Structure 1
Amino acid sequence: MIIELKDMTVGDIVLRRVYNAAASGGVDTRFNQSGSYFYTPFWQIEHVVINSTRLGNNFTLSALAIDCAQNGHSGRIYLDNFGGVSL
């Protein structure tokens, strides 16, 4: 799973998180295993601080869930709750 927040106004990536449960590449430490399935036992919470220099900019949030090769396991992503706090 890849989550990416891009500042489209400036053209840079503010946040990029990769969660990898691929057995061939080593399982990400955030995952647990049950049989041949890997899962995160808790919600993975991401906090992003956007400083005042980015006020008024346009952002794109991309979330990509990737499954295994053909006939492999499926990949799923659940996104919940977006919020903002003014500092």
Structure 2
Amino acid sequence: MIPFSDEDLLPPVTHIINDKIAPMLARDGGAIQLITVKEQKVYIQLQGSCVGCAASGSTLKYIVEKELKEAIHPELEIINVPIGMEEKLEEL
């Protein structure tokens, strides 16, 4: 069990995504947006050249998930929100 509330998780998750992950993805024309942290799940959306890229699954697992789990907590769940599903998170 993760010992942090969603409110506790939001600042460090935002920092890591904006300051570490986003610049890495931007070098290849990709982008990432933090949708929300809800019930200790981090909802993100890969954008730009990441959309439809064959390597986007690897990006999610080996960059986004790895950075967040190592820096914050190993039990964090990271969910990629497909474009158009931003208002339907409960369906993911």
User: What is the TM-score of this pair, normalised by structure 1?
Assistant: 0.30
Structure with higher Rg: it is 1
**Which of the two has greater strand per residue?**
1
User: What is the TM-score of this pair, normalised by structure 2?
Assistant: 0.29
**Which of the two has greater helix per residue?**
2
